[in-house]
Chains A and B, each alone.
Chain A
Amino acid sequence: MERIEKETTYQETRKVEKGDFAAAGQISASYKNMLKRLGVDSKVVRRLAIASYEAEINLAIHTFGGSMTITVYPDHIVLVVKDTGPGIADIGLAMQEGYSTASEQVRMLGFGAGMGLPNMKRCSDTFEITSELGIGTTIEMGFLLTP
Protein backbone atom coordinates (compact mmCIF):
# COMPACT_ATOMS: atom_id res chain seq x y z
CA MET A 1 0.00 0.00 0.00
CA GLU A 2 2.92 2.31 0.69
CA ARG A 3 4.27 1.70 -2.76
CA ILE A 4 4.66 5.05 -4.49
CA GLU A 5 4.53 4.99 -8.23
CA LYS A 6 5.45 8.03 -10.25
CA GLU A 7 3.15 7.68 -13.14
CA THR A 8 -0.18 7.64 -11.40
CA THR A 9 -2.74 8.49 -14.01
CA TYR A 10 -5.70 8.98 -11.73
CA GLN A 11 -6.83 8.73 -8.13
CA GLU A 12 -10.22 9.26 -6.54
CA THR A 13 -11.68 8.67 -3.06
CA ARG A 14 -15.38 8.44 -2.32
CA LYS A 15 -17.32 7.90 0.88
CA VAL A 16 -20.03 5.32 1.52
CA GLU A 17 -22.51 5.99 4.33
CA LYS A 18 -23.86 3.30 6.60
CA GLY A 19 -27.20 1.93 5.41
CA ASP A 20 -27.32 3.90 2.18
CA PHE A 21 -28.74 1.25 -0.16
CA ALA A 22 -30.20 3.73 -2.57
CA ALA A 23 -26.76 5.09 -3.40
CA ALA A 24 -25.14 1.66 -3.59
CA GLY A 25 -23.89 0.96 -7.07
CA GLN A 26 -23.14 4.57 -7.92
CA ILE A 27 -19.43 4.30 -7.25
CA SER A 28 -19.02 1.06 -9.20
CA ALA A 29 -21.04 2.56 -12.05
CA SER A 30 -18.78 5.62 -12.13
CA TYR A 31 -15.66 3.40 -12.10
CA LYS A 32 -17.08 1.45 -14.98
CA ASN A 33 -17.74 4.57 -17.04
CA MET A 34 -14.36 6.09 -16.22
CA LEU A 35 -12.39 2.92 -17.08
CA LYS A 36 -14.33 2.41 -20.29
CA ARG A 37 -13.46 5.99 -21.27
CA LEU A 38 -9.80 5.27 -20.51
CA GLY A 39 -10.01 2.33 -22.90
CA VAL A 40 -9.41 -0.37 -20.29
CA ASP A 41 -10.15 -3.93 -21.48
CA SER A 42 -13.86 -4.68 -21.00
CA LYS A 43 -13.20 -7.92 -19.09
CA VAL A 44 -11.12 -6.03 -16.54
CA VAL A 45 -13.74 -3.28 -16.31
CA ARG A 46 -16.35 -5.93 -15.64
CA ARG A 47 -14.35 -7.66 -12.91
CA LEU A 48 -13.57 -4.38 -11.21
CA ALA A 49 -17.20 -3.25 -11.42
CA ILE A 50 -18.41 -6.47 -9.76
CA ALA A 51 -15.77 -6.33 -7.03
CA SER A 52 -16.40 -2.66 -6.30
CA TYR A 53 -20.15 -3.18 -6.22
CA GLU A 54 -19.80 -5.93 -3.60
CA ALA A 55 -17.46 -3.69 -1.62
CA GLU A 56 -19.91 -0.81 -1.80
CA ILE A 57 -22.79 -3.00 -0.60
CA ASN A 58 -20.70 -4.37 2.26
CA LEU A 59 -19.82 -0.87 3.44
CA ALA A 60 -23.52 0.02 3.48
CA ILE A 61 -24.69 -3.23 5.10
CA HIS A 62 -21.97 -4.28 7.51
CA THR A 63 -20.04 -1.18 8.58
CA PHE A 64 -20.33 2.18 10.28
CA GLY A 65 -19.35 3.72 6.95
CA GLY A 66 -16.16 3.93 4.97
CA SER A 67 -14.45 4.94 1.78
CA MET A 68 -13.27 3.57 -1.51
CA THR A 69 -10.13 4.77 -3.24
CA ILE A 70 -9.29 3.82 -6.77
CA THR A 71 -5.85 4.46 -8.21
CA VAL A 72 -5.21 3.86 -11.87
CA TYR A 73 -1.57 3.21 -12.77
CA PRO A 74 -0.35 2.62 -16.31
CA ASP A 75 -0.25 -1.16 -15.85
CA HIS A 76 -2.59 -1.88 -12.94
CA ILE A 77 -5.42 -0.55 -10.82
CA VAL A 78 -5.58 -0.60 -7.03
CA LEU A 79 -8.87 -0.39 -5.16
CA VAL A 80 -8.71 0.21 -1.41
CA VAL A 81 -11.87 -0.21 0.64
CA LYS A 82 -11.63 1.05 4.20
CA ASP A 83 -14.18 1.27 6.98
CA THR A 84 -14.35 2.51 10.55
CA GLY A 85 -15.68 -0.69 12.11
CA PRO A 86 -16.97 -2.87 13.63
CA GLY A 87 -14.21 -5.12 12.22
CA ILE A 88 -14.30 -8.84 11.43
CA ALA A 89 -13.60 -11.36 14.20
CA ASP A 90 -12.85 -14.36 11.97
CA ILE A 91 -11.72 -13.48 8.44
CA GLY A 92 -11.47 -17.13 7.41
CA LEU A 93 -15.13 -17.62 8.26
CA ALA A 94 -16.20 -14.35 6.60
CA MET A 95 -14.42 -15.44 3.39
CA GLN A 96 -16.41 -18.68 3.21
CA GLU A 97 -19.04 -18.73 0.49
CA GLY A 98 -22.47 -18.72 2.12
CA TYR A 99 -21.41 -17.23 5.45
CA SER A 100 -23.36 -14.07 6.25
CA THR A 101 -24.50 -12.14 9.29
CA ALA A 102 -26.84 -9.92 7.24
CA SER A 103 -30.17 -9.05 8.87
CA GLU A 104 -33.50 -10.46 7.74
CA GLN A 105 -34.40 -7.05 6.34
CA VAL A 106 -31.25 -6.96 4.23
CA ARG A 107 -31.86 -10.54 3.04
CA MET A 108 -35.34 -9.57 1.89
CA LEU A 109 -33.65 -7.21 -0.57
CA GLY A 110 -31.66 -10.09 -2.03
CA PHE A 111 -28.38 -9.34 -0.28
CA GLY A 112 -26.72 -11.49 2.36
CA ALA A 113 -26.01 -14.57 0.28
CA GLY A 114 -22.50 -14.59 1.75
CA MET A 115 -20.87 -14.29 -1.66
CA GLY A 116 -19.56 -10.75 -1.55
CA LEU A 117 -16.05 -11.35 -0.24
CA PRO A 118 -15.54 -14.52 -2.36
CA ASN A 119 -16.81 -12.56 -5.38
CA MET A 120 -14.29 -9.80 -4.71
CA LYS A 121 -11.47 -12.29 -4.39
CA ARG A 122 -12.45 -14.10 -7.56
CA CYS A 123 -12.74 -10.90 -9.57
CA SER A 124 -9.43 -9.35 -8.52
CA ASP A 125 -5.86 -10.39 -9.39
CA THR A 126 -4.63 -9.70 -5.88
CA PHE A 127 -6.76 -9.55 -2.75
CA GLU A 128 -5.72 -8.63 0.78
CA ILE A 129 -7.98 -8.19 3.75
CA THR A 130 -6.99 -7.04 7.21
CA SER A 131 -9.31 -6.33 10.08
CA GLU A 132 -9.24 -5.35 13.71
CA LEU A 133 -12.25 -5.50 15.99
CA GLY A 134 -13.31 -2.06 17.13
CA ILE A 135 -11.06 -0.40 14.54
CA GLY A 136 -12.18 -1.48 11.11
CA THR A 137 -11.48 -3.47 7.98
CA THR A 138 -9.30 -2.70 4.98
CA ILE A 139 -9.48 -4.55 1.70
CA GLU A 140 -6.96 -3.94 -1.03
CA MET A 141 -7.60 -5.35 -4.48
CA GLY A 142 -5.33 -5.20 -7.48
CA PHE A 143 -6.28 -5.52 -11.14
CA LEU A 144 -3.70 -6.03 -13.85
CA LEU A 145 -4.02 -4.13 -17.08
CA THR A 146 -2.59 -6.47 -19.66
CA PRO A 147 -2.05 -4.76 -23.01
Chain B
Amino acid sequence: MTVAQLIEPLELTLLTPQTSLEREVTGGCVCDLLSFVMARGDAGMAWITVQTHLNVIAVASLHEFSCVIVAEGSAVEPETLAKATEEDIPVLRSALSEYTLSGRLYALGVR
Protein backbone atom coordinates (compact mmCIF):
# COMPACT_ATOMS: atom_id res chain seq x y z
CA MET B 1 0.00 0.00 0.00
CA THR B 2 1.41 3.40 -0.99
CA VAL B 3 0.90 6.77 0.67
CA ALA B 4 -1.27 7.82 -2.30
CA GLN B 5 -3.61 4.91 -1.61
CA LEU B 6 -4.30 6.17 1.92
CA ILE B 7 -5.72 9.51 0.81
CA GLU B 8 -9.27 8.41 0.11
CA PRO B 9 -9.93 5.90 2.92
CA LEU B 10 -8.35 8.13 5.58
CA GLU B 11 -9.94 11.33 4.19
CA LEU B 12 -6.59 13.05 3.83
CA THR B 13 -5.57 16.32 2.28
CA LEU B 14 -2.00 16.54 1.04
CA LEU B 15 -0.25 19.59 2.51
CA THR B 16 3.05 19.07 0.70
CA PRO B 17 2.20 18.82 -3.01
CA GLN B 18 5.84 18.38 -4.05
CA THR B 19 6.58 15.26 -2.01
CA SER B 20 6.53 11.71 -3.30
CA LEU B 21 3.41 9.62 -2.56
CA GLU B 22 4.71 6.41 -4.08
CA ARG B 23 6.52 5.21 -0.96
CA GLU B 24 5.28 1.94 0.59
CA VAL B 25 3.54 2.23 3.94
CA THR B 26 4.98 -0.71 5.87
CA GLY B 27 3.66 0.07 9.34
CA GLY B 28 1.97 2.61 11.53
CA CYS B 29 2.70 4.60 14.64
CA VAL B 30 0.28 6.73 16.69
CA CYS B 31 2.07 8.91 19.21
CA ASP B 32 2.57 12.50 20.29
CA LEU B 33 5.69 11.90 22.37
CA LEU B 34 8.72 12.39 20.17
CA SER B 35 11.04 10.31 22.34
CA PHE B 36 8.68 7.33 22.10
CA VAL B 37 8.62 7.69 18.36
CA MET B 38 12.41 8.02 18.35
CA ALA B 39 12.68 4.78 20.33
CA ARG B 40 10.05 2.72 18.56
CA GLY B 41 9.87 4.10 15.04
CA ASP B 42 10.83 2.09 12.00
CA ALA B 43 11.41 2.89 8.34
CA GLY B 44 8.27 3.06 6.19
CA MET B 45 5.85 3.81 8.99
CA ALA B 46 2.96 6.23 8.62
CA TRP B 47 3.03 8.43 11.72
CA ILE B 48 -0.30 9.68 13.04
CA THR B 49 0.06 12.63 15.43
CA VAL B 50 -1.34 16.00 16.51
CA GLN B 51 2.17 17.44 16.90
CA THR B 52 2.96 19.76 14.01
CA HIS B 53 6.21 21.56 14.82
CA LEU B 54 9.51 21.33 12.96
CA ASN B 55 10.90 18.48 15.03
CA VAL B 56 8.17 16.16 13.79
CA ILE B 57 9.80 16.33 10.38
CA ALA B 58 13.27 15.84 11.87
CA VAL B 59 12.09 12.61 13.56
CA ALA B 60 10.14 11.41 10.51
CA SER B 61 13.15 12.02 8.30
CA LEU B 62 15.64 10.28 10.63
CA HIS B 63 13.38 7.23 10.64
CA GLU B 64 12.59 7.44 6.92
CA PHE B 65 8.88 7.33 7.62
CA SER B 66 6.61 7.05 4.58
CA CYS B 67 4.46 10.00 5.72
CA VAL B 68 3.17 12.10 8.60
CA ILE B 69 -0.60 12.16 9.11
CA VAL B 70 -1.85 15.12 11.11
CA ALA B 71 -5.06 14.27 12.96
CA GLU B 72 -7.97 16.37 14.22
CA GLY B 73 -7.43 18.98 11.50
CA SER B 74 -4.57 20.48 13.52
CA ALA B 75 -2.92 23.58 12.11
CA VAL B 76 0.53 23.03 10.60
CA GLU B 77 3.09 25.81 10.55
CA PRO B 78 4.44 26.80 7.11
CA GLU B 79 8.03 26.16 8.31
CA THR B 80 7.08 22.57 9.05
CA LEU B 81 5.70 22.11 5.54
CA ALA B 82 8.75 23.78 3.99
CA LYS B 83 11.05 21.44 5.91
CA ALA B 84 8.89 18.43 4.96
CA THR B 85 9.12 19.36 1.29
CA GLU B 86 12.88 19.77 1.59
CA GLU B 87 13.19 16.35 3.27
CA ASP B 88 10.61 14.76 0.93
CA ILE B 89 8.34 13.66 3.78
CA PRO B 90 4.66 13.85 2.74
CA VAL B 91 2.47 15.60 5.32
CA LEU B 92 -1.25 14.85 5.06
CA ARG B 93 -4.07 16.12 7.23
CA SER B 94 -7.43 14.71 8.23
CA ALA B 95 -10.30 16.00 10.37
CA LEU B 96 -10.58 12.48 11.83
CA SER B 97 -9.22 11.58 15.27
CA GLU B 98 -6.01 9.64 15.84
CA TYR B 99 -8.15 6.73 17.02
CA THR B 100 -10.27 6.61 13.87
CA LEU B 101 -7.28 7.10 11.58
CA SER B 102 -5.33 4.26 13.15
CA GLY B 103 -8.41 2.01 13.01
CA ARG B 104 -8.81 2.67 9.31
CA LEU B 105 -5.11 2.21 8.62
CA TYR B 106 -5.17 -1.12 10.43
CA ALA B 107 -8.32 -2.19 8.58
CA LEU B 108 -6.52 -1.48 5.30
CA GLY B 109 -4.08 -4.21 6.23
CA VAL B 110 -1.19 -2.01 7.35
CA ARG B 111 0.40 -3.78 10.32
Instruction: Give the chain A neighbours of B59 by CB distance below 8 A.
Output: 25, 53
The answer to whether B35 touches A29, judged by C-beta atoms less than 8 angstroms apart, is no
The answer to whether A32 touches B62, judged by C-beta atoms less than 8 angstroms apart, is yes
Instruction: Give the chain A neighbours of B36 by CB distance below 8 A.
Output: 113, 115
CB of B34 closer than 8 Å to a CB of A: yes
CB of B22 closer than 8 Å to a CB of A: no
Q: Identify A21's interface contact among B33, B49, B55, B61, CB under 8 A.
A: B55
* Interface positions of B from 22 to 65, Cβ below 8 Å from A: 32-36, 38-39, 49, 51, 53-59, 61-62
Interface size on A, residues (CB 8 A): 23
The answer to whether A109 touches B62, judged by C-beta atoms less than 8 angstroms apart, is no
The interface centre, meaning the residue of B55, B57, B79 with most chain A CB atoms within 10 A of its CB, is B55
The answer to whether B62 touches A25, judged by C-beta atoms less than 8 angstroms apart, is yes
The interface centre, meaning the residue of B38, B51, B53, B59 with most chain A CB atoms within 10 A of its CB, is B38
Docked pose: A116 CA to B59 CA in angstroms: 13
Docked pose: A116 CA to B34 CA in angstroms: 10
Q: Identify B35's interface contact among A21, A32, A111, CB under 8 A.
A: A111
Instruction: Give the chain B neighbours of A109 by CB distance below 8 A.
Output: 34, 51, 53, 55
Q: Identify A110's interface contact among B33, B57, B79, CB under 8 A.
A: B33
Q: Identify A29's interface contact among B32, B53, B58, B79, CB under 8 A.
A: B58
Instruction: Give the chain B neighbours of A119 by CB distance below 8 A.
Output: 35, 38-39
Instruction: Give the chain A neighbours of B61 by CB distance below 8 A.
Output: 25, 29
Instruction: Give the chain B neighbours of A57 by CB distance below 8 A.
Output: 34, 55
Say whether, besides A22-B79, A110-B51, A54 and B38 are in contact (CB < 8 Å). yes
Interface residues of B, Cβ cutoff 8 Å to A: 32-36, 38-39, 49, 51, 53-59, 61-62, 79
Given A25-B54, A110-B51; 15 other pairs, CB 8 A cutoff: A22-B79, A25-B57, A25-B61, A28-B58, A49-B62, A50-B38, A53-B62, A54-B38, A110-B32, A110-B35, A113-B33, A113-B36, A114-B35, A115-B38, A119-B39
